[in-house]
Structure 1
């Protein structure tokens, strides 16, 4: 099994990239309507668990309900972003 480049990154960077992708989706959603808005809204909803993840251990202090995701959860979310990117690229070039 081949590792993807993001799997070599520290958890903090992986989580930052996922949250950045979610932010881009939210901004894009604000500027569209119709079927594309429905599609982007569904994608945003599917990725909202990323907002409840934390990358750092709970050494001291509150985590406010944030949880450490498993490596599989990171990989699944990153794969979802890749597929979304491929789908949007296909839509815009078709």
Structure 2
């Protein structure tokens, strides 16, 4: 299953949990989801911008998304943590990518990704941005807790 499909499945599961009333997003989790979405958006730009970058920069941007997700994961528990964990797992292939030639030496198991693989990962990150924005808006309106400032 490709990264885009895994992220789509995660987003669909989250939406189903909201519809079923199983996942009631706490205001703090909503704020964290919004911050995480913004961090992903800062790291991976629009498709036309990303496609024009050298592969080494595209890889840097994708690695930055992994850092954003990992930091957010460290700051929460429960369903949002599980969602973020699944997101990190979906993007796990990026950890094995390299943008530089091996020049005859060892590569520690890394591989050079294709342009299509970069595009797939970037599309998955954009879908994560959308899903996190949806999560940030899923705070039940009956809550009296204000969002943290």
Mark yes or no: TM-score above 0.5. Answer: yes
**Which SS does the other structure have where 2:98 is aligned?**
coil
**Matching of residue 21 in structure 1 with residue 93 in structure 2:** no
Note the C-alpha offset of 1:61: 2.1
Identify the match of residue 64 of structure 1 among 108, 113, 119.
108
**Which SS does the other structure have where 1:9 is aligned?**
coil
Residue correspondences, number: 92
Q: Give the structure 2 partner of residue 8 of structure 1.
A: 52
CA distance in 1, matches of 2:48, 2:97: 21
5+ long unaligned stretches in structure 1: none
**Which SS does the other structure have where 1:81 is aligned?**
helix
**Greater relative contact order (CA < 8 Å, ≥ 6 in sequence):** 2
CA distance in 2, matches of 1:58, 1:77: 22
After TM superposition, where is structure 1 displaced by more than 3 Å over at least 4 residues in a row? none
**Matching of residue 84 in structure 1 with residue 84 in structure 2:** no
Which of these two proteins has the greater Rg computed from alpha carbons?
2
With normalisation by structure 2, the TM-score equals 0.59
